[in-house]
Structure 1
Amino acid sequence: MRNLRRSTSTTMACQDEGTGTPIVLLHGYCGSHRYFEEILPILSAKYRVIVPDLRGHGSSSATEGVYKMEQLADDLDVLLDAMQLSKVFLFGHSLGGYVTLAFAQRHRERLLGYGLLHSTSLPDTGPGKTGRLKAVDQIRTGGISPFVDELIPKLFAKDHRETMKGKINFAKEIGYGTAPQGAIGCALGMRERSDRTNVLEMPDLPVLLLAGEKDDIITPDRRFPILKPKPHLTQVTLKGVGHMGMLEAPQEFADALISFIAANEGSGGA
């Protein structure tokens, strides 16, 4: 892990492996760069892979207050400056997808292409917003561990909740390392995020939309919000997979990213 100082009070940690075209992977809520441990060797054999910990997660610093998606996108912009990377492919899982869309809106010139992995361009629904406040209350009153114990199993396909107990426990251990103020800040930031479907519709960059067939978090009506096929959009559904494709089906997950990059290297945003 490399720790790259963003300011006098905030540090963003990242793992940097491989050589070649740079790709950045952003983890989901109460996750860290370790979510991608199984696919990192596959991807880093072909590309330079940068895997940061978002603010308040993993080894990165936590701050108080609401973590707006725009703020997290700007954190990444500073990280890329520090690493002297002008253009990258950017892929975001769940929360990381919301950050990816904010980055595509604010720092589009830095992208070769991007992807949403088990994520959506749509904002929270009314019940979703209520659920964020419930999460904040749970963390404030009970701490991060009980919240993570309840959250993580729901991220896996129902069929995998018995057969992948080791991976569920692995994801829980990662979640326990999330700073409570980071989990609270991100929950409030996700609650406030705007509809960015218009960003997906912009045809100047290639976009990957990767979904899990059995994902109970990103339901079918929210996975592919652009109903008409568009030349710049690639849609992939992983069969039998829930919200955690990088753990539930790592080879298929990595293959989808590799296929997308290979099809668009040297074209999107170049």
Structure 2
Amino acid sequence: MPPFLAYEDKDPGATGRVPLVLVHGHPFDRTMWHPQLAALAAGRRVIAPDLRGYGASPVTPGTVPLSRHAEDLADLLDLLGVDTFVLAGLSMGGQIAMECHARFGDRIRGLVLADTFPDAETPEGRRDRAATAERLLTEGMRGYADEVLEKMVAPYADPDVKAHVHRMMTAAPPEGAAAALRGRAERPDYRALLTGVRVPALVVVGADDTYTPVSDAETMHAALPDSVLHVVEGAAHLPNLERPEEFNRVLGDFLARLDG
């Protein structure tokens, strides 16, 4: 049976190092991890899927909760024969990583939470996400992408990075993005979960991120029993693309600790 999710699987034969699974945010796809796939998949298996409703993966209209994304990832990793791994997620991907830890934390050797936050949605946030979902279905992705581009990446970001981020957003299927927004609005509160994480964690955030500011990262770092916090200067919500060399160095150091 073929996998439900489209994915990239780098160096699948590597066995000496713990595998790394990369979970993208909204409204992106697995190409947001290209700098990490290129730099970190040398002797390490690195898997980057397109989430349900994004990239080349099938679209499910309506509402797709974070739990459905977590189940999709577990099914994919089962199919690929990956039993234990380091799980890294950015923004919505970080919240999916938390949901994965709640469901199959015994498989996770390390947790990387980038530019994300653990709180449940507020009533205002639920209304905003519902309105944005309707807008995407009515208008498509381009107007939304134009509006949020310089919050996703800093206004001073490299033009090629801006262009890549804009392409990902405009290419996202509106039905898939809307379904994920509705599901994300229903997410639980993960703050208590963080205090029970028993594996090493890395918290990364762009210094100029306005969606998930440094204060959110500091709160997660304080809650996690064994964590490292790294603030990436000169980056906003996507430091893995805006400052890939620094992001890769910090992630690589974290992975090396787990390999040991």
TM-score by length of 2: 0.92
Where does the alignment leave 5 or more consecutive residues of structure 2 unmatched?
Answer: none
Aligned to 2:41: 44
Select which of 237, 254, 270 maps to 2:231. Answer: 237
Shift of 1:264: 2.5
Judged with a 3 Å threshold, the aligned counterparts in structure 2 of structure 1 residues 227 and 40 are, in CA distance, closer, same or farther, namely: closer
Select which of 9, 15, 28 maps to 2:8. Answer: 15
Aligned to 1:207: 201
Q: Larger deviation: 173-182 or 101-110?
A: 173-182
Q: How does 1:56-205 map to 2 (within 5 A)?
A: 56-160=53-157, 164-205=158-199
Provide, for residues 182-220 of structure 1, a one-character-per-residue CA deviation record: whole Å limited to 9, x for no partner: 100111111111110112111421111111110011023
Select which of 11, 28, 31 maps to 1:31. Answer: 28
Q: Larger deviation: 27-36 or 213-222?
A: 213-222
Query: Quick one: distance in 2 between partners of 1:154 and 1:92?
Result: 18
Aligned length: 256
2:240 touches 2:248 (CA, 8 Å); kept in 1? yes
Q: Larger deviation: 202-211 or 88-97?
A: 202-211
1:122 touches 1:222 (CA, 8 Å); kept in 2? no
Provide, for residues 141-186 of structure 1, a one-character-per-residue CA deviation record: whole Å limited to 9, x for no partner: 21122222222222112332xxx22211111112222111110011
1:156 touches 1:243 (CA, 8 Å); kept in 2? yes
Query: Quick one: distance in 2 between partners of 1:248 and 1:228?
Result: 26
Judged with a 3 Å threshold, the aligned counterparts in structure 2 of structure 1 residues 216 and 174 are, in CA distance, closer, same or farther, namely: same
Shift of 1:134: 2.5
Check if 1:258 corresponds to 2:240.
no
Residue 205 of structure 1 aligns to a residue in which SS?
Answer: coil
Provide, for residues 110-139 of structure 1, a one-character-per-residue CA deviation record: whole Å limited to 9, x for no partner: 111111111111223343323212211221
Query: Quick one: distance in 1 between partners of 2:86 and 2:181?
Result: 26
Query: Quick one: distance in 1 between partners of 2:224 and 2:147?
Result: 38
TM-score by length of 1: 0.89
Residue 134 of structure 2 aligns to a residue in which SS?
Answer: helix
2:88 touches 2:111 (CA, 8 Å); kept in 1? yes
Residue 6 of structure 2 aligns to a residue in which SS?
Answer: strand
Aligned to 2:240: 246
Judged with a 3 Å threshold, the aligned counterparts in structure 2 of structure 1 residues 227 and 257 are, in CA distance, closer, same or farther, namely: closer
Q: Larger deviation: 250-259 or 216-225?
A: 216-225
Where does the alignment leave 5 or more consecutive residues of structure 1 unmatched?
Answer: none
Residue 38 of structure 1 aligns to a residue in which SS?
Answer: helix
Provide, for residues 218-252 of structure 1, a one-character-per-residue CA deviation record: whole Å limited to 9, x for no partner: 02332232474755111111112100111100011
Residue 208 of structure 1 aligns to a residue in which SS?
Answer: strand
Amino acid at match of 2:131: K
Amino acid at match of 1:177: A
Q: Percent identity?
A: 27
Structure holding more helix per residue: 2
